[in-house]
């Protein structure tokens, strides 16, 4: 990356500040001196655009610039009184869980998500809840007209909530408006990509504008104590384009995810200066907007056909909350020279690793088979604890022997073929027992936790034990079972 250096003073001695342009990657904000096809910093193609980077209001500096004498700032100790009532809960439990108990005074949150996923819907619901609780709440829409926002709010039954609404994109006007009257508790800026400020010359929507607009809004949040939520649209590969450059400036980054084909939506904290980052909130998009899902396991296991081979129920953890999801695998003889490996909802390279360990340490021959893997309901699993459930589903599909419908599976697989214990076994097993599961396929080290939760344990020490456990069951179609019981 080429950085701009002009000595240690802002401008070289004796020159006049001239209007300058730079070439800036619109995805990550890297600065270049000339155009190039690919950003070396983030690898994005065709993302570099020329932007005016001079400050419109900066006075020309002539005769050499020195650092101006600064004003003495007041230094404070750590012991003083913290902010009063630092958090404003929204009353939407799934949202408050992800923020860490409510919006912190003076904090700025970036909410990213694909267009149409439901960001505006979630935020108008949160704004209405906070306004109804008696706090001043302002919703600034840069994308929809005030009429459109009002129409949606009324359809959601929120027409009576005293939310202050405006359709505006000019940051200076927005800040002047927010500064009148009592300081708002919550301000929603939908979206940061539409905002522009006079402070910089670049065109609206460019990285320079997004960054400068965010800076202005963040300064207001810190000075006034208002919590601000900035909406940012993400590109299809999951990167918050443009707004990614403000990620480090904000206090929290949340992403709103989901699958167009499914109704549920997941709110994840990616960064949170005031709370945990592994919490998720689960919502269901319905005719009346987003509805909280307090028991997501029941939702993800809803339409499950436990009698078919190739499915395993993974007892996962999302932050402090256990979450049971079904993992589906389909293993079929390949018709092509190179077998296909397709995975939805899990890491492709993690699947390759599990396949390799199954082959090398479990004696399962998969080289001539296509492998398809899917996490039911469009959910995305990030934990390595899912290894064992994936392996179980694969073996079950290959052998065409269903796994017991009453069993949950979890455990991490090491390259040596050992099955390693995973953190938080107890809450995983407790959730499984609550949902009526009575058996657990798990690492040897977690057997005691399973007994305590009242589940019958089938601990496995090595991957070969798992293969024997599943493929050793009563086969439905013995002719199609291709699992050999090799042991090291
Ligand atoms: P929206 O909040 O506008 O998405 P974003 O702000 O992230 O771009 O959500 C729009 C989608 O949500 C749209 O496809 C319709 C759907 N939707 C419902 O299914 N039910 C509802 O009650 C609402 C308001 C939206
Ligand atoms: Mg929107």
Q: Are residues 143 and 260 in the same domain?
A: yes
Best residue among 124, 243, 285, 289 to mutate for probing ligand 1's pocket (most ligand atoms within 8 Å of CB) is 285
Q: Which residues pair with 394 in a beta bridge?
A: none
* Residues with a CB atom less than 6 Å from ligand 1: 113, 115-121, 152, 156, 285, 287-289
Q: What average pLDDT is seen over the chain?
A: 84
E runs forming strands in 234-319: 252-258, 264-272, 280-286, 289-292, 311-318
Q: Are residues 49 and 149 in the same domain?
A: no
Q: How far is CA 18 from CA 23, 48, 57, 58, 203, in A?
A: 16, 22, 12, 10, 18
Q: Are residues 148 and 25 in the same domain?
A: no
Picking from 99, 104, 100, the residue whose alpha carbon sits closest to that of residue 88 is 104
Q: Are residues 201 and 243 in the same domain?
A: yes
Where residue 433 falls (left for φ over 0; alpha for ψ -120 to 50; beta otherwise) is: alpha
Global pTM? 0.75
User: For the packed helices 463-471 and 387-399, what is the interaxial angle rounded to 10 degrees?
Assistant: 40
Q: Return d(Cα 281, Cα 291) in angstroms, integer.
A: 11
The residue segments making up the domain with residue 50 are 14-58
Domain count, the chain: 3
Is 205 a domain residue?
yes
- Using one digit for the tens of pLDDT, what is the confidence trace for 204-231? 878 888 999 999 999 999 999 999 999 9
- Using one digit for the tens of pLDDT, what is the confidence trace for 125-181? 999 999 999 999 999 999 999 999 999 999 999 999 999 999 999 999 999 999 998
Q: Are residues 406 and 284 in the same domain?
A: no
- Using one digit for the tens of pLDDT, what is the confidence trace for 227-277? 999 999 887 665 555 667 888 899 999 989 887 777 888 898 888 888 887
Query: Residues 418-428: what's their mean pLDDT?
Result: 91
Q: Are residues 372 and 280 in the same domain?
A: no
Q: Are residues 43 and 125 in the same domain?
A: no
The whole-number pLDDT of residue 103 equals 93
Q: Return d(Cα 246, Cα 383) in angstroms, integer.
A: 27
- Is residue 235 within 8 A of residue 42, CB to CB? The reply is no
Q: Are residues 280 and 397 in the same domain?
A: no
Is 4 a domain residue?
no
Q: Are residues 287 and 319 in the same domain?
A: no
- Percentage of residues in the chain having pLDDT higher than 70: 87
Query: Residues 345-350: what's their mean pLDDT?
Result: 93
Q: Is the pLDDT score of 299 beyond 80? A: no
| Ligand minimally distant from the alpha carbon of residue 121 | 1
Best residue among 119, 121, 127 to mutate for probing ligand 1's pocket (most ligand atoms within 8 Å of CB) is 121
279 pLDDT band, cuts 50/70/90, is confident
The whole-number pLDDT of residue 8 equals 45
């Amino acid at each position: 990356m080429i950085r701009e250096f002009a000595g240690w003073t802002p401008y070289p001695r004796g020159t006049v500040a001239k209007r300058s342009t730079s070439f800036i990657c619109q995805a990550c904000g890297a600065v270049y001196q000339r155009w190039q096809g690919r950003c070396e910093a983030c690898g994005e193609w065709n993302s570099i655009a020329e932007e005016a980077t001079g400050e419109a209001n900066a006075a020309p500096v002539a005769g050499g610039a020195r650092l101006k004498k600064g004003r003495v700032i007041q230094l404070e100790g750590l012991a003083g009184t913290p902010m009063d009532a630092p958090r404003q809960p929204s009353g939407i439990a799934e949202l408050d869980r992800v923020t860490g108990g409510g919006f912190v005074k003076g904090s700025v949150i970036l909410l990213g998500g694909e267009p149409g996923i439901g960001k505006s819907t979630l935020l108008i619901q949160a704004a209405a809840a906070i306004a109804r609780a008696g706090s001043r709440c302002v919703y600034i829409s840069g994308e929809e007209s005030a009429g459109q926002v009002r129409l949606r709010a009324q359809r959601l039954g929120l027409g009576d909530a005293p939310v202050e609404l405006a359709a505006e994109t000019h940051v200076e006007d927005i800040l002047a408006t927010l500064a009148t009257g009592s300081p708002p508790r919550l301000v929603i800026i939908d979206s940061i990509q539409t905002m522009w400020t006079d402070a910089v010359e670049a065109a609206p929507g460019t990285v320079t504008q997004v960054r400068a607009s965010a800076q202005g809004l963040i300064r207001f949040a810190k000075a006034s104590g208002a919590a601000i939520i900035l909406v940012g649209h993400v590109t299809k590969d999951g990167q918050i384009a443009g707004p990614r450059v403000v990620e480090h400036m904000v206090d929290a980054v949340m992403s709103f995810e989901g699958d167009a084909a499914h109704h549920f939506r997941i709110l994840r904290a990616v960064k949170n200066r005031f709370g945990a980052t592994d919490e998720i909130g689960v919502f269901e998009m319905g005719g009346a907007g987003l509805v909280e899902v307090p028991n997501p396991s029941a939702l993800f296991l809803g339409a499950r056909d436990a009698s078919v081979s190739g499915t395993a129920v993974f007892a996962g953890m999302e932050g402090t909350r256990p979450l049971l999801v079904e993992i589906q695998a389909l293993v079929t003889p390949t018709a092509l020279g190179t077998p296909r490996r397709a995975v939805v909802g899990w890491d492709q390279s993690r699947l390759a690793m599990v396949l390799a360990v199954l082959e090398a340490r479990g004696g399962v021959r998969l080289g001539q088979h296509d492998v398809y893997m899917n996490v039911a309901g469009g959910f995305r699993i990030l934990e390595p604890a899912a290894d064992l459930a994936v392996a179980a589903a694969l073996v079950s599909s290959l052998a065409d022997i269903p796994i017991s419908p009453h069993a949950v599976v979890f455990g991490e697989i090491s390259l040596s073929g050992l099955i390693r214990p995973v953190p938080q076994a107890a809450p995983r097993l407790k959730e499984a027992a609550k949902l009526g599961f009575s058996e657990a396929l798990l690492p040897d080290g977690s057997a005691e936790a399973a007994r305590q939760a009242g589940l019958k344990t089938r601990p496995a020490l090595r991957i070969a034990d798992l293969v024997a456990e599943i493929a050793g069951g009563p086969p439905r179609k013995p002719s199609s079972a291709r699992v050999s019981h090799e042991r090291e």
